[in-house]
Amino acid sequence: MKPASQSAPAGAAKPRLTTSAMIASIASEGQRTKPAPFGHALNALASADARIVGMTADLGKYTDLHIFAQAHPDRFYQMGMAEQLLFGAASGLASEGFTPFCTTYAVFASRRAYDFIHQTIAEEDRNVKIACALPGLTSGYGPSHQATEDLALFRAMPNMVVIDPCDALDIEQAVPAMAAHQGPVYMRLLRGQVPLVLDEYGYTFELGKAKLLRDGYEVLFISSGIMTMRALEAAKALEADRIDVGVLHVPTIKPLDTQALLDACAKPGRLVIVAENHTVNGGLGEAVAGLLMREGVHPAFRMIGLPDEFLAAGALPTLHDRYGISTEALCTQVRAWLK
């Protein structure tokens, strides 16, 4: 038997380091989760609808589309690491009567393949569904994988419906809603072990609808995506400070549920805070601000979002604290604004 090398690092004894890994779960420790809600919801949908096909650009495993590929191998198209081809071919399949669900990372759909989605899918109004992982700051890998401007880009595209789901429940209910909508849809995707939160609030996803998850007379969070989960956690934490916080979840970024937003913002004396996992440029915050300005509704108004800069690589909890989108950071900002 060989003696153990004297120079080998005693890895097991070392504390676990934080990581700038590409893939990291956004579920906090001990949080309830559901595995691969997108893949399973797509399977259920595909069993009832022969038009559904799945397509990816070498990221099936990392977008939960492998669940679909295993169940429906003859309806799965591996397009290789070629996002322009992915979306152009999806347009072609849609024009022949199929309903392609395409997956890649949000950075690649929004940045690399934008013109293909714009011209071959949105302009031609093709029935293509786009589901993209690593939205906003959900990767510690650095700007190459941090899709901090995808909502702004897809909001700006005519014909495109834009969804930013919060949790596993949102995703599994959004999938059939995407298919039921005739036309192109972009959805931000959470994959792997996805937090399950909204079932505690009697919530159901409806395309184009905002939902009030809890009411509060002092502060109203308007949020989408994982920021709704954070806002709910912050609302609970702020109970200790006797701050009464409501949360309006806006999973459909486009078209906006303007009536629900105006009604919620017209309530007097409430601080409105839009919280989004996205650059403050052109996302939900500016969409809501523009709506309120146009309609003459003027609550006290703040925005929480990612700064207009290339974000750092690092562990997600570190980065969420640094850029102000962790639950703790939300609480700190609310307390400061109410002083």
Partner 1 sequence: MSTASIGHNLSLERRAWNIRRHALLMGEVQGQGYIAQALDIADVLATAYFHAMTFRPDDPYWEGRDRFLLSNGHYAIALYAALIEAGIIPEEELETYGSDESRLPMSGMASYTPGMEMSGGSLGLGLSIAVGKGLGLKRKGSHSRVYTLFSDGELDEGSVWEAIMSAAHFKLDNLIAIVDVNNQQADGPSTTVMAFEPLTDKLEAFGWFVQRVDGNDLAAVRDAFDAAKAQMGSGKPSMIIADTLMGKGVPFLEAREKNHFIRVEANEWQLALAALDERKPS
What residue ranges bind partner 1 (CB under 8 A)?
53, 77, 79-80, 82, 84-85, 87-98, 100, 115-116, 119-120, 123-125
CA distances from 326 to 112, 119, 153 (A): 29, 37, 24
**Nearer residue to partner 1 within complex by CB, 183 or 314:** 183
Residue 310's nearest CA partner among 186, 148, 130 is 148
Q: Closest separation between CB of residue 179 and partner 1, Å?
A: 17
**Nearer residue to partner 1 within complex by CB, 79 or 313:** 79
Q: Closest separation between CB of residue 102 and partner 1, Å?
A: 11
99 forms beta bridges with 52
**Nearer residue to partner 1 within complex by CB, 100 or 225:** 100
Q: Closest separation between CB of residue 81 and partner 1, Å?
A: 9
Encode 148-174: b = buried (16+ Cβ within 10 Å), e = exposed: bbbbbbbbebeebbbbbbbbbbbbbbb
Known catalytic residues? 83
**Nearer residue to partner 1 within complex by CB, 120 or 252:** 120
Please report which helix (H) or strand (E) contains residue 189, including its range.
strand 185-189
CA distances from 335 to 18, 229, 243 (A): 29, 19, 9
The DSSP secondary structure of 201-228, one letter per residue, reads GT----TT--EEEE--SSEEEEE-THHH
Sheet holding 271-279, edge to edge: 211-214, 245-249, 219-223, 271-279, 301-306
Q: Closest separation between CB of residue 22 and partner 1, Å?
A: 23
**Nearer residue to partner 1 within complex by CB, 59 or 90:** 90
Q: Closest separation between CB of residue 116 and partner 1, Å?
A: 7
Please, is 26 exposed, middle or buried when counting C-beta atoms within 10 Å of its C-beta (0-12, 13-18, 19+)?
Answer: buried
